[in-house]
Amino acid sequence: MLRSMTGYGRSQKILNGRDILVEIRSVNHRYYEYSSRVPRTFSYIDEKLKGLLKTGISRGKVEVAVTINNIEGKDSEIAINKGVAEGYVNALRSVSEELGLEDDLSLSKLIKLPDIFNIQKTPDDEEQVWNDVSEVTKEALERFVEMRKVEGERLRNDVIQKADAILEMVGRVEVLSPQTVENYRNRLYKKLSEILEDKNIDEQRILTEAAVFSEKIAVDEETVRLRSHISQLKTMLDADEAVGRKLDFIVQEMNREVNTIGSKAQDLNVTKIVVDMKAEIEKIREQIQNIE
């Protein structure tokens, strides 16, 4: 299915104590160009991220933004500083004995004293982090690709509509071209009659001149090739692969044939049709710039 190079996909999940958000967006570009915004502490996932996106994207300027927030407390380990706690207990009981005070020391009172707890950040499990990020990324990528397909279908229909319009104009050129030769023959006959002031005109000479003129303005080969190019264009639009570059080449060939028809045109009506065909081809060219 045809896919646009413009797309957006987003996914967010909480996995293993981390709130992970992945956003993918792209615009048209001749090749695959990747850029990312990944938290510095997780920069080790960037290269893997680039490879993962490449599996679903062949062309386009792609930007991925990753946000990873640790849920409060999930990335920390809390340990009792036993040495400090023991020091507090010994000191308090010593004072209690010396001053004859009641020993009412309890755990609830002890934990309120400074430096009893030692809080340490848990080291990241890099493999687990990547597994979680890749899971969220794959979901965002699926949505991204789906949006590209929807936009691609719209582009396909628009290009086909314009291609059909060009085909209709090709048919009109094919009808007008022989009429141009006939009109030329009649004008030539009339001109020679006026010059020679004699109705006894050499018909063979008229036919020869008309044949030469016909050869100069004949566009049969160009219209046949133009029809072939349009047929190829439509076939490519239904291909299940990236065809943007191939389409660009076909459109160049279409434009070449129309330019040749225009250079041969000796009829104002044909010239007007050529101008209209070139306008439609330019519109097609603009559309396929967005096709992957």
**Structure confidence at residue 30 (pLDDT):** 84
User: For the domain with range 149-288, which CATH number is right: 3.40.50, 2.60.40, 1.20.120, 1.10.1740?
Assistant: 1.20.120
Q: Are 207 and 188 in contact (CB under 8 A)?
A: no
Q: Which fold has domain 7-72+127-148?
A: Ribosomal Protein S5; domain 2 (3.30.230)
pLDDT of amino acid 170: 94
Q: What is the pLDDT of residues 209-230, one digit of tens each?
A: 555 555 555 687 889 999 999 9
Specify the pLDDT at position 252.
95
Q: Which residues of the chain carry a pLDDT beneath 70? A: 72-78, 117-123, 178-218
pLDDT in tens, 156-206: 999 999 999 999 999 998 888 766 656 655 565 555 555 555 556 556 655
Look at residue 121 in the predicted model and tell me its pLDDT.
Answer: 64
Q: What is the pLDDT of residue 4?
A: 92
Domain boundaries, the chain: 7-72+127-148, 76-121, 149-288
